[in-house]
């Protein structure tokens, strides 16, 4: 399906920059100076100055003047036919993994911050001496260099590339989350580079346990210390909005660690991102004790990008 039928919600924002030209303009200038506009923030004056976060060609909002289509579907951004020759995976409603022609191309994508290979997430806060401090805030300060690994993202099936990896944290994904949404990531155990926007799984869609960890997001319904006489060493149970087909869904971890991450009794409605596998919790489901680097609260300024949480 193409985005012309108005079902595409993979384009969460458009770059809005007056007078920028897709044929001659600098992409890095666009990415660093344009305002990021949500579908709901669209105004007619922005026409012809909105650009795709994937291919940088012009976007329009459809329908232009209403928040919903006549059939009730929400408005969205769509590409224009003039630039049909520019390939963009965001034209499709169906995410595809990205494959690279050769190792050089993949290495270049890593250098250009378009691709990140995450070999694992941090177990504990990094030693200050290990942290590579970012010159500017696009470089997540919690990432440390991981091993050179064989990564199966070649166009040629079965071929792997030897690539530098990062030992990262979900917190660093949440920083500059809007930019990160359209970067490609290879997460631990995964065999394709996916844009972050396509790798994220809504907790509300989860109805079963899983063995394979994935990246989930959910909205907090309720959070409490499970101790009879609450102490920081007790478990904190953070209940997330869940699928109607299951009893409930919890993020379970020690209170002191959740507190460190800003999760408390008053975190209702905040969005949390968690890397993990889904296990049973009584009659419901949970992600049980993710590692220190495997979950974080999303800064509220990005909530609108995950409006279905």
Which residues bind to Zn ion, rule: CB under 5 A?
52, 54-55, 88, 90
Pick 26 or 269: Cβ nearer Zn ion: 26
**Nearest approach, Cβ of 89 to Zn ion (angstroms)?**
8
Residues ≥6 apart with Cβ < 8 Å to 112: none
- Rounded Cα gap, residues 110 and 97, in angstroms: 16
Q: Are 83 and 58 in contact (CB under 8 A)?
A: yes
Q: Are 272 and 290 in contact (CB under 8 A)?
A: no
Pick 23 or 301: Cβ nearer Zn ion: 23
**Nearest approach, Cβ of 301 to Zn ion (angstroms)?**
24
Pick 52 or 297: Cβ nearer Zn ion: 52
- Rounded Cα gap, residues 253 and 97, in angstroms: 32
Pick 15 or 250: Cβ nearer Zn ion: 15
What residues does 214 pair with on adjacent strands?
Answer: 276
Q: Are 153 and 192 in contact (CB under 8 A)?
A: yes
**Nearest approach, Cβ of 52 to Zn ion (angstroms)?**
3
Pick 50 or 118: Cβ nearer Zn ion: 50
**Nearest approach, Cβ of 186 to Zn ion (angstroms)?**
22
Q: Is the peptide bond before 276 cis (omega within 30 degrees of 0)?
A: no
Q: Are 50 and 14 in contact (CB under 8 A)?
A: yes
- Rounded Cα gap, residues 153 and 27, in angstroms: 25
**Nearest approach, Cβ of 86 to Zn ion (angstroms)?**
7
- Rounded Cα gap, residues 117 and 260, in angstroms: 26
**Nearest approach, Cβ of 305 to Zn ion (angstroms)?**
17
Pick 55 or 305: Cβ nearer Zn ion: 55
């Amino acid at each position: 399906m193409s985005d012309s039928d108005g079902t595409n919600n993979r384009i969460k924002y458009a770059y809005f920059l007056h007078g920028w030209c897709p044929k001659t303009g600098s992409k890095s200038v666009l990415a660093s100076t344009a305002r990021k506009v949500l579908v709901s923030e669209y105004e007619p004056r922005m026409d012809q100055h909105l650009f795709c976060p994937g291919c940088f060609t012009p976007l329009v909002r459809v329908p232009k003047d209403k928040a919903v289509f006549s059939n009730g579907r929400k408005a969205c951004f769509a590409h224009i036919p003039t630039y049909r020759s520019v390939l963009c995976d965001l034209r499709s409603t169906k995410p595809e993994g990205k494959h690279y022609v050769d190792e050089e191309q993949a290495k270049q994508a890593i250098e250009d911050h378009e691709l990140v290979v995450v070999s694992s997430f941090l177990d504990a806060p990094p030693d200050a001496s290990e942290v590579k401090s970012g010159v500017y805030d696009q470089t997540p300060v919690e990432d440390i260099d991981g091993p050179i690994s064989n990564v199966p993202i070649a166009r040629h099936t079965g071929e792997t590339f030897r690539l530098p990896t990062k030992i990262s944290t979900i917190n660093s994904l949440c920083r500059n989350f809007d930019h990160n949404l359209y970067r490609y990531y290879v997460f631990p155990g995964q065999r394709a580079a996916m844009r972050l926007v396509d790798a994220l799984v809504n907790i509300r869609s989860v109805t079963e346990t899983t063995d394979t960890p994935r990246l989930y997001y959910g909205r907090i319904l309720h959070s409490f210390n499970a101790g009879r006489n609450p102490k920081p060493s007790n478990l904190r149970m953070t209940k997330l909005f869940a699928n109607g087909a299951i009893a409930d869904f919890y993020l379970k971890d020690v209170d002191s660690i959740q507190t460190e991450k800003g999760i408390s009794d008053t975190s209702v409605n905040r969005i949390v991102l968690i890397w993990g596998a889904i296990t049973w919790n009584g009659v419901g489901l949970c992600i049980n004790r993710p590692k220190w680097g495997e979950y974080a609260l999303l800064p509220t300024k990005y909530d609108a990008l995950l409006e279905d949480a």
